[in-house]
Amino acid sequence: MTKRILQLTLILFLAATAPGSADPTAPAGTPGLKDLPQLDQMGQVASAGLQTLRQVIAGNPRANLGMGSLEAAQATLGRPYRQYKVRLDLLQSYDGRDPMSLMDKSIEVIYPVLVGPQVRASLTLVWAGSVWKVASMGGAITAGRFDTLRNNHAQQAGMDPGQLFMVRIPALSKRFAGYFDASSNLELVPEKEDLPAGLQKGSTVPAAQAFSRLVGKANSTPLRTYLAPGKRRAK
């Protein structure tokens, strides 16, 4: 019964803030947050999402959301960052063009949820055309691993961690920390090692090179495993 109540609470909250159609005018090549729409509203929605997360955990201390009720009461929002997602259909035909052309057009931001200095969960917000809405919450393992990757690379490279954002290839289960170099070229830092593709964990590689090495793997992945937003598979 308690588990059912937890599921209904999450479903009702996410349904109330579910994203509408993605904004087709998403700013390509803008890793920071300053150019995103309605920044004040974005922060307010994230704060409301954190409060809902606390309530859900308080209602069910065994909820698998990255922390217990006492920790949730102390949780705060960390510094948000952009998330870009690579479309499988575009990666399959990648020919070395601008890597940003492979990204879907949704505008997504991830807020780490901190207990002290540690990332224990995350909130993902999506721009739904005119408002920000919470798309998901939880993701403790993913958020923690990315935070470690981002901070480690920033320290090694002498960068502000805020310069790095997340780049995901959902169909291939791959994540990278991304940033733009002084020449505005997209650079990627793999979260995991992929020796066949020549990707080493934590080592910087130009995005064009990384994506070129993954074309073969992309083409061996059925397109039905990932459909871009708004796309339907042809019958």
What distance in Å separates the CA atoms of residue 79 and residue 127, rounded to the nearest whole number?
18
Cα–Cα nearest to 50, from 30, 71, 31, 33: 71
Reply yes or no on whether the pLDDT at 92 is more than 90. Answer: yes
Q: Is the pLDDT of residue 4 over 80?
A: no
Pinpoint the alpha helices (H) of the chain: 2-16, 39-59, 69-74, 88-91, 140-157, 207-219
pLDDT above 80: residue 27: no
The fraction of the chain above a pLDDT of 70, given in percent, is: 81
- How many Cβ atoms from other residues are within 10 Å of residue 140's Cβ? 17
Q: Is the pLDDT of residue 8 over 80?
A: no
- Please give the Cα distance from 189 to 213 (Å, whole number): 14
Confidence of residue 232 (pLDDT cuts 50, 70, 90): very low
Residue 14 pLDDT more than 70? Answer: no
Averaged pLDDT of the chain: 82
pLDDT at residue number 203: 93
Q: Where are the domains of the chain?
A: 2-11+32-223
pLDDT in tens, 119-134: 999 999 999 989 999 9
The answer to whether domain 2-11+32-223 has CATH 3.10.500 is: yes
Q: What pairing do the DSSP bridges indicate for beta strands 132-138 and 165-169?
A: unpaired
pLDDT at 234: 39
